[in-house]
Structure 1
């Protein structure tokens, strides 16, 4: 099935930035086809996620440079939450395959159950943040995350994230996030950490 990219360069950037993340490794492995087809499916996934953030949350990208992106979801409820979920699942089924959809559902259901034990409701969720490897370590990550943190501070609401990459936790701690819990995710066979930031 054909797919029209809106953020081709940024989707390639996110693919390179997140290549070691257990969630995305598992999702890519669930796609049938050649390695090139699997990579292309993941690039589509990142592009769709950016479109989703623009519609249901906030997409933060650098001006004029494709070095990274931050993808946020704001709290959604009722019919809107159902619409968002259905659109994501339809995309995965149509562009990644039925096996990928099943993998996605199993991972996200497991993580939702575990994360809910340590994160209060009604927070903004930082679902993806990635910086192209050549630009990492230059302080650019904060420029992608800070705009939403400033807004949620004004709103007086918390933010949270999940990471399978413990080396990234120090970066989040500098922004005010604190570890709220860690869990073993059975589908990826990997541990992930939940971090929460209270408004300042």
Structure 2
């Protein structure tokens, strides 16, 4: 997600994604994460964008039983501009049964080598994940041609305002150091580093206390 200043984009609203939009949400996030270092480390280069889109379809399946879990910025005509996946307090970690049931699908995304790397990423992220109750933001992305126009921050600010109102903290991991200032502008602070074993990329865990 770009942090460069740019004019605001008008003519869109923030809402929950509809189930029929799961493919469009996955495609948008695949384009937004095309150069993400963590996904690039896990997902084979061959047919990477399609594989990443499949990954985000699976990610949405985990979120969708939960209220307000997939939120989008969209025009009145239904064009999706940005999307965010949210997990409420106590719901960020899938159960062992969910992990086991989803293994074949994730194997189709990552391949044999990528599955090993994905496991290393998951283990490192779970180990660093805070136990204090919080909302978790695993993924947010803006369509590439609209990055830097304020859509992503508008999408996040709505949920962050709700968290402030109810006194709830928020946690995320930034997979790019260049995105850290963007999140800092929304009230997050870096709490450390997550280094992936085996020469993998670094992530920056970030925490946001509720604002009064």
Normalising to structure 2: TM-score of the pair? 0.76
2:155 corresponds in structure 1 to 144
- Count residues in correspondence: 187
Higher helix share: 1
Structure 2 SS opposite 1:67:
strand
More relative contact order, 1 or 2 (CA 8 Å, 6+ apart): 2
1:112 corresponds in structure 2 to 126
Structure 2 SS opposite 1:194:
strand
CA contact (8 A) 1:7 1:47 kept: yes
2:29 corresponds in structure 1 to 14
Compared CA separation, residues 50 and 188, structure 1 to 2 (3 A)? farther
1:52 aligned residue (55, 62, 70): 62
2:42 corresponds in structure 1 to 27
CA contact (8 A) 1:107 1:188 kept: no
Q: Superposition pairs for residues 160-175 of structure 1, below 5 Å? A: 160-175=171-186
Structure 2 SS opposite 1:195:
strand
Q: Measure the CA separation in 2 of the matches of 1:54 and 1:144.
A: 18
CA contact (8 A) 1:6 1:47 kept: no
Compared CA separation, residues 169 and 80, structure 1 to 2 (3 A)? closer
- Structure 2 residue 197 is matched with structure 1 residue 186: yes
CA contact (8 A) 2:51 2:109 kept: yes
Q: Deviations over 1:85-107 (max 9, x none)?
A: 34543431355445443322221
1:176 corresponds in structure 2 to 187
RMSD value over aligned CA atoms? 2.5
Compared CA separation, residues 188 and 107, structure 1 to 2 (3 A)? farther
Structure 1 SS opposite 2:191:
strand
Normalising to structure 1: TM-score of the pair? 0.80
Task: Return the offset for 1:188.
Answer: 5.6
| Structure 2 runs not aligned, ≥5 long | 1-19
Compared CA separation, residues 94 and 28, structure 1 to 2 (3 A)? closer
**Bigger mean CA deviation after superposition, 133-142 or 152-161:** 152-161
